[in-house]
Amino acid sequence: MQGKFVWYELMTNDVPAAAAFYRDVIGWEAKAFDNATPQGDAYTVFNIPGREMGSAGLMGITPQMAENGLMPQWWGYVAVDDVDAKAREFAENGGRVLMPGTDIPNIGRFATVADPHGAALNVFKPNMPEGPMPEEPPPMSPGTVGWHELMAGDGNEAFDFYARMFGWTKGEPYDMGAMGVYQLFAHEGRDIGGIMTKTPDIPHPFWSFYFVVPEIDAAMKRVTDAGGTVLSAPMEVPGGAWVTQCRDPQGAFFALVAGKR
**Rounded to an integer, what distance in angstroms lies between the CA atom of residue 103 and that of residue 40?**
12
pLDDT digits (tens, 9 = 90+) for 3-14: 999 999 999 999
| Domain locations along the chain | 5-126, 145-258
Mind listing the pLDDT tens digit for each residue in 106-131?
889 999 999 999 999 999 999 876 65
Find the range with the poorest average confidence among 106-110, 144-148, 251-255.
106-110
pLDDT digits (tens, 9 = 90+) for 67-78: 888 999 999 999
**Of 94, 100, 113, whose CA–CA distance to 154 is shortest?**
94
Assess whether pLDDT exceeds 70 at residue 105.
yes
| Contact (CB, 8 A) for 74 and 22 | no
Contact 51, 137 (CB under 8 A): yes
CA–CA gap between residue 128 and residue 30 (Å, rounded): 23
Query: How much is the pLDDT for 16?
Result: 95
Residue 19 — pLDDT band, cuts 50, 70, 90?
A: very high
For residue 74, the Cα-to-chain-centroid distance in whole angstroms is: 6
Residue 37 has pLDDT above 80, yes or no: no
**Of 94-108, 110-124, 155-169, which gets the smallest average pLDDT?**
94-108
1 — pLDDT class (breaks 50, 70, 90): confident
User: Could you read off the pLDDT of 183-194 as tens digits, one per residue?
Assistant: 999 999 999 999
Angle (CA) 225 249 215, round 5°? 45
Angle between helices 15-26 and 216-225 (to 10 degrees): 150
Averaged pLDDT for residues 138-142: 91
Neighbours of 137 (CB within 10 A): 15
| Average of per-residue pLDDT across 93-109 | 94
CA–CA separation, 241 vs 249, rounded Å?
A: 25
Query: Is pTM beyond 0.75 here?
Result: yes
Closest CA to 181 of 162, 161, 203, 154: 154
% of the chain residues with pLDDT over 70: 95
Residues 202 and 219: their CA atoms lie apart, in Å, by 25
Superfamily of domain 145-258: 2,3-Dihydroxybiphenyl 1,2-Dioxygenase, domain 1 (3.10.180.10)
Q: How far apart are CA 169 and CA 135, in angstroms?
A: 25
Mean local confidence (pLDDT), 122-141? 82
The per-residue pLDDT for range 199-224, each reduced to its tens digit, is 999 999 999 999 999 999 999 999 99
The CATH number assigned to the domain with range 5-126 reads: 3.10.180.10
pLDDT at position 239 is: 87
Identical fold, 5-126 and 145-258: yes
Q: What is the pLDDT of residue 130?
A: 63
> What is the rounded average pLDDT for all residues in the chain?
93
More confident residue, 46 or 66: 46
Residue 11 CB partners (closer than 8 Å, separation 6+): 59, 60, 61, 65, 70, 72, 73, 74, 75, 252
pLDDT at 62: 87
